[in-house]
Every structure is written in structure tokens, then in C-alpha cells.
Structure 1
């Protein structure tokens, strides 16, 4: 027992030196701090903002939130925590990242960050409009309002310090390339247009004082249970065409983000590979403790998402064994494994 304790202590000391993890959290050097986590994007990081807007893309009813602290739905597209929560927790900021539109949000909560994410949004305005989501441009306006409120509450200099020492996370583009790009004839041209919007957004938040920015690549969209069911054939295979589009977009995004960063030497930009960790889980589920990766836990697991996943649809007996919670979104356990697998990249790029 004593030997085990010593090993844990030594590991945490090593983690401290290497900016790695100890007990699921990042150990930062004394001269490195993360004041807040600020998140922009779609349903992967919507902490409940869509509860307060007129849209069908909501998750504020059972069985969503089945494994939340009080077992009640929060608006997160998960049975519990999401990507936002696990990132904030791993960075030692807080265990649950709140939605910026939450009317119960207290002033003190603003100092450690919020999510502006909205299910159904994209970088292309048409995507957000078609799903009645909060556009990325509007999320940027919400961020500006957040900064003003922060300055009013604690003063300009402390507020600026929080923004400078925060980490901004951007997770979007998924809805654009699944939905809106079908209106386009040229996938490469559309991907380039989206990435230009990503870079414009990145520059906008930089001008507002942000210096550490995390941009997620697209996941393997062809492996979502819903997409498998829709166009994966009788065997519901991963759809290569959708995955190829995601990889094309990701390759351009990575290159362009690296080029952008050279023009802003004070910034630290982390391109996070969201694709390969998910493919690894889907192709080697047992390695990560999952039994089912081609279906969600809600209902049949083949199509249920948003209002199709409701209190009348049964859920799987062991949620921890399902990588997906519904037809698109990972389960709480799925999100946890994803964050565990991307943390080192985040560290290497930001600190």
C-alpha cells in the first residue's frame, strides 16, 4: 500500500515537471495558470444554451442528463458531462462548465468561464439558420457582452487578466459539412470557405485579448450511428465518403492554423485532432472499455437524437459500455475517454 502511494506521489511530481496529468487533472508549472475556460461551438459543447432559444435542437428533457448529479436533464447532449465539462475539470478550473445563458448563473461563475455553444450551429450562417441555432457570430457577440460584464463586476485590469490567462475552445464545422455542404458542388472550395471563417473568428477573439486558443478538427462523421443508419447500407458501416470529407477539411485546417499562428506570435494555437482518437475507439472498443460503438444508448441507438431521444425511449442497461449516447453524441464515458486522449496534444501546443 505504501509503495503504491509513493508511486502516485512520484508520478504527480513527474507530471508537475512535464506539464502532464495527475489523477485526471493537468498539473501546471507555478508560472503557468488557467483562469477560465471559454467555449464556442455546437452540440458537443452546448451546456444548455439552447434551453433558452426557440429551436427543436434541445436536450432539456429525459433521458438526457440521466447521470447528472441530480439525475435531471441540463440541456447537455449527453447522459452527463460533455466535452466542455471534462476539459474544464482536467485543467483544474471547475467540474461543470455552465451555459452562458443560464439565468441562475452568478457573477462569480463568470470568472472561471462559460460555454457559448449552441446545438445546430456552424461557421456558415446558413447552417445556424436552418437549425435555429445561435450562430458563431452571435456567440462572439455574447463573448463581448461577457467581457463587459466581467469588467463591470471585478474591474478592467482583473478582467483583462482573466481573458489573457483563459483557454478558449472552438468546436464547430461538423453541422456545416453534414448539412449545408450538400448545397455545394465543390467540397474543397466549401471547406476552404469554412476555414477562412474559422481563421476570421480566431482573429476576432485574439483582438479581444485571448491568447490561448484550442480548435478541434472534425470527428469521423461517417461513423455517427445516425449516419451509419442513413447511408451506411444494411450492415450500417462507417461511411467512407463522410470520413474522407472530414479528413480533407482537417488537413487544410491544420495547415492554415499553423500559418495563421506565425502572424500572431503572442498567440498559442492548438489544433486538436478529434478524428483519430475517435477512430481508434471505434476500431478498438475493447481497448477503451466499450462494448458498443455503432449504436447510441438511447432507444434503438440507430437514429434517436434530440426530440427523438425522449422519456418514452428506453436506454441501454449499462451506459458506461456505450461510446455513443444518442445518434450523434458520445456518452459521458465517451467524452471522458476522448479528453484523456487529447490532453497531451493540448499541453504540448499551449504551454
Structure 2
């Protein structure tokens, strides 16, 4: 297992991110959505994967006798700004800032793409990736988020613990 190899090579703190909100990215909306709803099957897959990842990491930590591997539930982090974009200062979480087709969800971001006038008000930069502002929200949750987002602890807690040793 790759994670065990990291530990054997000397890694003592590793943050492992789960999958994001696969069914809600503009690429999937462009291909599957009629009214902007997320693709339920992909959302279900992500909802199943992330808790299993956390459980696997907790088992590995038990074997190793410490909190080496930290799970970051990025799907849960992103769902908050996808379901309520205005609360985070976004005008939309459905349309990418840069892309083509429905929801700007087709193709790559190229000079021929539609480009939004202000990327800070879009949750997604392109058909797959969060915008810089959305990534800052995710990074803040990794740093200070509750156990809803980070298991067994957030990065601030890790840093505080490790500074005492």
C-alpha cells in the first residue's frame, strides 16, 4: 500500500484528501443535468468513498500507533459553497468561469473559451476545478475545520501538537 510505503520512508504526518463533489462540477452538469441538479450517482459514489477512506486511514493509524494519516473530506467542504454559493460571495456554483457550452462545462479553458468578468464570484474556475477563492475556503477548512471536514484533527491542531514535541 502506498501510504504504508510513505510511513516506511519516514512520513509522520500526511493529509489525504478524499474526492470532491464529482457530480456537481460544471463538466458533469453540462453532460447530465437538465436543471442544474448534481448527478446523483456520482454524488453517491463520493459520499460512499470518503467515509471509507477515513475508516481505512483510522485503521492504518491504529496499526501504526499514532495519527500519521489525516483525512480531509473535500466533498463535504465544497458542498457548503455549492449548495449556498451566495453565502460565500459567489454568484454561482454551477457555471465555470472559463469554458464552453452549457455551464461552461465543456472542453478546456482556451483563448476561445467564454471567460467570466470576475473569477472571484465563481465557485469553479473551469469544468472541473474550484476557483482560487473556493480553494481558499477549502484550505481554511483543512487548517481550522471541525471533525466534519478533518479526521482525526485539523492542520492547526497538528501544528500545535507537533510544535510541543
Q: What TM-score, normalized to structure 2?
A: 0.83
Partner-residue secondary structure (3-state), 1:215: strand
CA distance in 1, matches of 2:105, 2:116: 14
Tell me which of the two structures has the higher relative contact order, counting C-alpha pairs closer than 8 angstroms and 6 or more residues apart. 2
* 5+ long unaligned stretches in structure 2: 145-153
8 Å contact kept, 2:18–2:74: yes
Partner-residue secondary structure (3-state), 1:348: helix
Alpha-carbon displacement from aligned partner over 1:285-320 (angstroms, at most 9, x marks no partner): 111111111011013443244xx3211223100110
Partner of 2:56: 256
Partner-residue secondary structure (3-state), 1:329: coil
1:323 aligned to which of 123, 134, 145 = 123
What aligned pairs does 1:1-351 form with structure 2 within 5 A after superposition? 200-232=1-33, 234-300=34-100, 301-305=103-107, 308-344=108-144, 345-348=154-157, 351=161
CA distance in 2, matches of 1:264, 1:227: 39
* 5+ long unaligned stretches in structure 1: 1-199
CA separation of 1:218 and 1:349: change in aligned 2, threshold 3 A: farther
- As a proportion of its length, which structure holds more strand? 2
Alpha-carbon displacement from aligned partner over 1:168-226 (angstroms, at most 9, x marks no partner): xxxxxxxxxxxxxxxxxxxxxxxxxxxxxxxx111011111110010111111000111
Partner-residue secondary structure (3-state), 1:263: helix
> Between Structure 1 and Structure 2, how many residues are aligned?
149
Shift of 1:332: 1.1
Q: What TM-score, normalized to structure 1?
A: 0.41
Shift of 1:242: 0.5
Partner of 1:173: none
Shift of 1:341: 2.1
8 Å contact kept, 1:323–1:333: yes
CA distance in 1, matches of 2:157, 2:43: 26
CA separation of 1:349 and 1:218: change in aligned 2, threshold 3 A: farther
Q: RMSD between aligned alpha carbons?
A: 1.6
Alpha-carbon displacement from aligned partner over 1:59-99 (angstroms, at most 9, x marks no partner): xxxxxxxxxxxxxxxxxxxxxxxxxxxxxxxxxxxxxxxxx
8 Å contact kept, 1:268–1:349: no
